[in-house]
Structure 1
Amino acid sequence: MSKKAMGLAMVATLGLGVLAGCGSANKPAEQGNNKPAAEAPKLSGTIKADGSSTVGPITEAVAEEFKKANPGVQVTVGISGTGGGFKKFTAGETDINDASRKIKDAEKKAAEEKKIEYIELEIAKDGIAVVVNKENTFVDKLTVAELKKIWEPDSKVKKWSEVRPGWPDQEIKLYGPGTDSGTFDYFTEAINGKEKASRKDYTASEDDNTLVKGVSGDKGGLGYFGYAYYEENKDKLKLVPIDNGDGKALAPNIGNIKDGTYKPLSRPLFIYVSKASLQRPEVKAFIKFYIENAPKLVKEVGYVPLDEPKYKELLTKIQ
């Protein structure tokens, strides 16, 4: 064979080799071996939360962000008060109960009777704000004793002059949470010494926005509700510093709520999650998302987040 013929043969052989190599490289693709990994199944379903009007805004904020990443999941957030929410939760009607106090013994018993097991998760801290009308110029502070005098059962106080000498002979108009509210339970125990012990002749509502409107629209108005609602409406209300008996009056803020020096009206906030509901992938994903995003979202809606290690403990707790 001539050199020219040998050269042509080598070129042909190399060409076949390259083609074979290309065929070999393409073969897995033709067989689908290089297909992208299967996507995780998309979440769907409905998650039902209810309960505290104080905790509700946190759960609503979490639900809104969760929905962006999981459009197939619907999260409903009702506000029927901590006690009202526990009635539904312990009957198995909801997956999550927002609570501004711990579950009571009677509620635990109701859950046991329906075989509802649950996990308690502390997700933030809050202070109860005592507020008066923006035009009130004379209330510089209130003592716990004065609050008790105003709010205790069968209180006869009708005017500001009856609270402290020198204050005007002006009628007090009272606004506060309803009896199903965890804020009502906490305030009455902290101020009056017994849960649910309160005068009844006041404007009551489970909706804190109704209380804000009442106090802001009434010159003699006095009310109490979660600190976040004051922060949201501070242009309409006057915040009252509270003296717990040591002679030092403190107005609530992020720092003294977190360290507990705003006494006796600082408190923890909770969500209660049904263990049966937690077995559903959409609920577990939502609770995990809730805990992971709580430090940011709790602060955004005006409450006080816990320290980071606390949230890590909660993630371990739900596993």
Structure 2
Amino acid sequence: MTDTQMDRSGRSFSRRKLLAATGAVGAAAIAGCTENAGNGGNERVVVTGSSTVFPVSDRLAEEFMNQNDGISVTTDSTGTGGGFNNNFCPGDSEINGASRQIKDAEVEECSDSGVEPIEFQIGKDAVTMAVHNDSPIDCMTYDELAEIWREDGAETWSDVNSDWPDEEIVRFGPPSTSGTFDWFSTNVIGDAGSHVTQYEKTENDNELVQGISSTQNAIGYFGYAYYRENQDALKALEIRETEDDECAAPSIDAAQSDAYPMARPLYIYVNKDALQQDAVYDFVEFYIEQSSTDVISDVGYVPVSEEQAQSNLDKLESEAN
């Protein structure tokens, strides 16, 4: 073991002991962040990927920089797939947030560039389907959602349910580069067909919120954190997989207990070679430590268990050495 590895191992062990004894940084201590925040330091860590994971990465980047002079952590919301294809796999970012697991084709693309992605689950999300506040609709099944979101599906609300308005459906959602798009297409639309291509699409979830809240007969989906920040402006639908199930509203508690059917894990992927850089290793270690704390729930997601965080820390140390 090299001196650097011995130092890293000892530092990681000490920090984990401190975490267990005193707890991690509280949510109240963390200030809001802006995209591409940086302090102009000499060492730089680049985080790209999922718009869902972005608020977590951005917030933790700001706190980490507050505690570590000379390190700049930049965060960019590129979408899960966009981050893998355009930034992480080509080696232009060290970390990629993901709202789904990496695909085999992406692993191969990374491998072709000499990048080995290391996976860490950092939380859990409740994918939220929202409508305009004036919508009379309160709950939907997976089949009804698939009818709205599949290619050549329903054109009006009454096409889905005769009790619903005879008005054209206006759709807002993430693009095909998004992990949320992939998750929804696979798990909700499923065998009913392919995702509709003609709809208002953007990686900026705040723009989705604005579009739905200002458009009659609108519907759209995104990560729960964005709904929670704007819950007075639009209505979240309750969801049930089948007609026989109970309707469940999205919430942190419902996602944690799996009572909400559209709950899903969230990840970061780290370039293994980049872990040899102290700035990258230390930021990932900090990120994992915070993933089991109220920082995650304060953003709007479910923290991982302390056991999961510890397992991730052990994995980080093993992969770096």
Q: TM-score range by the shorter chain?
A: 0.7 to 0.9
In structure 2, the partner of 1:253 is 251
Match of 1:214 in 2: 211
**Which residue in the other structure is 2:284 paired with?**
287
Superposed displacement of residue 48, structure 1: 0.5
Q: CA deviation at 1:287?
A: 0.8
Q: TM-score, normalised on structure 2?
A: 0.83
Task: Kindly state the Cα deviation for residue 66 of structure 1 after the two structures are TM-superposed.
Answer: 0.3
Q: Is 1:189 equivalent to 2:186 in the alignment?
A: yes
Task: Tell me what 1:67 maps to.
Answer: 65
Q: Once the two structures are superposed, what CA deviation does each residue of 1:100-137 show, in whole Å capped at 9, x if it has no partner? A: 0001010011111112122100000001101100121x
1:233 corresponds in structure 2 to 230
Q: Is residue 117 of structure 1 aligned with residue 122 of structure 2?
A: no
Task: Kindly report structure 1 stretches of 4+ aligned residues shifted beyond 4 Å.
Answer: none
In the other structure, the counterpart of 1:90 is 89
Q: 1:240 and 1:163 mapped to 2: Cα distance?
A: 15
Q: Give the Cα–Cα distance (whole angstroms) in 2 for the partners of residues 114 and 67 of structure 1.
A: 29
CA RMSD of aligned residues (A): 1.5
CA contact (8 A) 2:169 2:217 kept: yes
Structure 2 match to 1:14? none
Deviations 1:222-262 (A, max 9, x none): 01111111101001010101111133111111122112221
* Distance (Å, rounded) in 2 between the aligned partners of 1:222 and 1:309: 38
Give the residue type in structure 2 aligned to 1:106: A
Distance 2:138 2:70 in 1: 51
Name the amino acid aligned to 2:163: G
Which amino acid in structure 2 is aligned with residue 135 of structure 1?
A: D
Structure 1 residue aligned with 2:49: 51
User: Matched residue of 2:130: which SS?
Assistant: strand
State the distance in 2 between where 1:62 and 1:177 align.
24
Partner of 1:166: 163
Contact 2:140 2:239 in 1 (8 A): yes
Q: 1:196 to 1:211 in 2, by over 3 A?
A: farther
Q: Does 1:105 align with 2:122?
A: no
Whether 1:296 and 2:290 are equivalent positions in the alignment is no
Q: Confirm or deny: 8 A CA contact 2:125 2:263 kept in the other structure.
A: yes
Match of 2:220 among 207, 219, 223: 223
Which whole-Å CA distance do the structure 2 matches of 1:296 and 1:196 have between them?
Answer: 39
Q: 1:47 is matched by which residue type in structure 2?
A: V
Q: Give yes or no for contact 2:124–2:255 (8 Å, CA) kept in 1.
A: yes
Distance in 2, matches of 1:168 and 1:196, equals 24
Percent same amino acid among aligned pairs? 41
For the 8 Å contact 1:189–1:195, the answer to whether it is kept is no
The answer (yes or no) to whether the contact 1:55–1:269 under 8 Å persists in 2 is: yes
CA distance in 1, matches of 2:111, 2:52: 26
The structure with the largest alpha-carbon Rg is 1
Deviation string for 1:84-113 (max 9, x for gaps)? 000121111110000000010100111111
The 1:154/1:195 distance shift into structure 2, 3 A limit, reads: closer
Whether the 8 Å contact between 2:150 and 2:192 is mirrored in structure 1 is no
- TM-score, structure 1 as length reference: 0.83
Could you report, residue by residue, the CA deviation over 1:192-249 in whole angstroms, capped at 9, with x for unpaired residues? Answer: 1169921111101111111000000001110111111110100101010111113311
Moved more, 160-169 or 81-90: 160-169
Please name the residue that 1:10 is paired with. Answer: none
Q: What is the aligned length?
A: 274
Residues 278-317 of structure 1: per-residue CA shift (max 9 Å, x gap): 1111111111111112223211111110111110111111
Q: Indicate conservation of the 8 Å contact 1:189/1:196, yes or no.
A: no
